[in-house]
Chains A and B, each alone.
Chain A
């Protein structure tokens, strides 16, 4: 067990433990908060895999954007005191059966797959350059499609959250 393994298990532990808190915490704020550490753990594992650009984008988008949005949503759109913001566990039996099935399938795939271990290949200094070149050459169509996906997301988000579509909330105040 060398240093690399120790760091890997550290990040894996952080990811799994905080994911456990996300699922099992009764307080939804703690769930959202624990998700922060889950994202961090995953980013750490990306760094260990030499995927520096993905790691930082993970923090930039998931932690800096999506989680902020979730926190805003959780903190602000509900009366935390009037409506009990608790998460509960429902349908335990079917859920555990389903989870066991999925876990079994994943483990099966893990053992069946013929993993190719490439040795002696040094990782590139940075993945950003090759990513950029790929975007501009081989994958230029998906790249442009991504902008359309973003456009749709933007329009949809603006539509859903627009105030005059929610007159009933205005009246409640």
Chain B
């Protein structure tokens, strides 16, 4: 029974995640069009709502071309690693509190791992592989440049990411994501307690997900498609999916760690039944994630791209010292309150 509930949760989460990713692509295209004073895709279905479906069918039907000089095995494996890492992060995100349905007390989280934050960091560090291996295995100059840039960028910002999370852990005293969310009850959100940590974490998330202004790996004017230049068909689709899935997971992590997760302020004072409170909390979580995704999209279409040396400078000489300073400041504040 327990396994069955787990299975149902996993299938629902994966389904919702993949569907929402498809619609985020549409959302991004529509928002980009609005910013650039165009209309955007609106032909397939009402307001273009069936466009993601058409895109998927198109990608599946496309021929799979592997360059003759490429290393075929690794070329095939790289997109699978990318999408696997992007999806696997979602296994530990708590998207709601407990809910009592059909006589079962169900936890709205797939796996409540004791070391959730470290699990997320470990998976983030694996993200490098999809990019590096695809860039190398294609045996194309653009791919290799894109892959190398991207992997150096990702490992550089990973440090700032890990260090900014330490402040949150010091406050919550646990690596469990659920405990961290519970510690942010009412308005004790970590964004208010850890504003600098929040900024460094969000900037690092942008760099980790290779989104503008940090999308050097796929800077179109110089590198064509970056590491996925030589990919076509569904394998390209998987990279595309992974990029957007990474955006969703990054937003979900930011929400969980800094924006109170599924906590909705004052919801308990409304006098609703437990089930409706739980549903409101899940919706609140989705709303916060949606707002962050919107933020990601708007940033992409408003900011220009950094130069590579600027990018590395920001990572190593601004974000890293800021994160360390934030860590020490947090330690000091906790200490003074504690003494």
Contact = CB atoms under 8 A, between A and B. Distances in A.
Report A-B touching, CB under 8 Å: yes
A60 B121 contact: yes
A147 to B, nearest CB: 14
B126 A59 contact: yes
Contact of A56 (B71, B119, B128): B119
Interface residues on chain B, size class = 20 to 34
Contacts, number: 56
B165 to A, nearest CB: 12
B125 interface: yes
Contacts of B334: none
24 contacts: A33-B74, A36-B129, A52-B113, A52-B115, A53-B115, A53-B118, A56-B121, A59-B122, A59-B126, A60-B122, A60-B125, A64-B128, A64-B158, A65-B125, A68-B128, A68-B129, A68-B132, A71-B136, A72-B132, A76-B148, A126-B114, A126-B175, A126-B176, A128-B115
A53 B174 CA distance: 12
Contact of B114 (A52, A57, A72): A52
Nearest to B175: A128
A128 B114 contact: yes
A75 B155 CA distance: 17
Contacts of B158: 64
A28 interface: no
Interface residues of A, number: 20
A19 interface: no
B151 interface: yes
Interface in A107-147: 125-126, 128
Given A57-B118, A68-B132, 11 more contacts: A36-B129, A52-B114, A56-B118, A56-B121, A59-B122, A63-B125, A64-B158, A65-B125, A71-B133, A75-B136, A126-B114
Contacts of B113: 52
Contacts of B122: 56, 59-60, 63-64
A70 to B, nearest CB: 11
A48 interface: no
Q: Interface on chain B toward A: helix, strand, loop, or mixed SS?
A: helix
B138 to A, nearest CB: 12
A47 B37 CA distance: 53
Contact of A126 (B115, B132, B133, B148): B115
Interface of B: 71, 74, 113-115, 118-119, 121-122, 124-126, 128-129, 132-133, 136, 148, 151, 155, 158, 175-176
Given A64-B158, A68-B132, A76-B148, A56 B115 contact: yes
A68 B158 CA distance: 13
A42 interface: no
A59 B151 CA distance: 17
A36 B132 CA distance: 14
Contact of B126 (A52, A64, A71): A64
Nearest to B118: A56
Nearest to B158: A64
A64 to B, nearest CB: 3
Given A29-B74, A33-B74, A59 B125 contact: yes
Q: Which one of A36, A64, A72, A128 has the greatest number of beta carbons of chain B within 10 Å?
A: A64
Shortest Cβ-Cβ A-B pairs, 3 listed: A64-B125, A126-B114, A59-B122
Contacts of B119: 56
Contacts of A36: 129
B279 to A, nearest CB: 29
A80 to B, nearest CB: 9
B129 A60 contact: no
A96 B121 CA distance: 40
B155 A68 contact: yes
